[in-house]
Amino acid sequence: MSNQKKQIILNEITFWKQNKLLPEHYCDFLTTLYTEGERQVEIEGKASQSVMAQQKRKALRKYSVMPMIAIIFIVLLFTIDAVWLVAILTGALAVGCLVGAFYLAKKNQLLSPILHLTGALLLLAVTVQICMTYFPNSVTILYVGLLINCLLWFISGLTMKIVYFTVSGILGMLAIAIYFFI
């Protein structure tokens, strides 16, 4: 086995030991097995340095967003007259966040339900806003828009096998139908 592969495995074992994902004696055994009896202190020092480097990279990524937010705030502050510029920047930021969210959802399965719910609620908000803006005096069009949203939730729940979408779609359609007819 190459030294690079061994080092990766040893880094993982040290990470497991530090975060108590495995009992300490298991980690010691695995470390001894992969180092073939080398000094364990040197390896743990290297592994902890690489773990710290990973944590620094994560913190750097997190803090690299701050200047972008500051730039957007400054642009929004000084370009109130140019509404189209604000709309373009906001749209670009939204698309960037959406692409980043889908990229993260591929890596982390726990984020998928949050993204589904956020997307559904954003679609609902946009639908209500469009109905209220373009048809302010027609409540029927608002109900139709809400029914379409609930129907989309129901269909999405059936196709993606997501129970909470199916249930919310059915309950939403029932609530709108009852409210409309009563």
Render pLDDT for 6-50 as a digit per residue (tens, 0 to 9): 888 888 888 888 887 888 888 888 888 888 777 554 544 555 555
Average pLDDT of the chain, as a whole number:
76
Residue 120 has pLDDT above 70, yes or no: yes
30 and 98 assigned to the same domain = no
Local confidence band at 59 (pLDDT 50, 70, 90 cut-offs)? low
Q: Are 65 and 93 in contact (CB under 8 A)?
A: no
Helices (H) and strands (E) in the chain — how many of each?
A: 8, 0
Question: 79 is in which domain, residue-wise?
Answer: 64-108
Long-range contacts of 34-40 (CB under 8 A, 24+ apart): 34/6, 34/9, 34/10, 35/6, 35/10
Alpha carbons 164 and 38: distance in angstroms, whole number: 53
53 and 81 assigned to the same domain = no
167 and 114 assigned to the same domain = yes
120 and 170 assigned to the same domain = yes
16 and 53 assigned to the same domain = yes
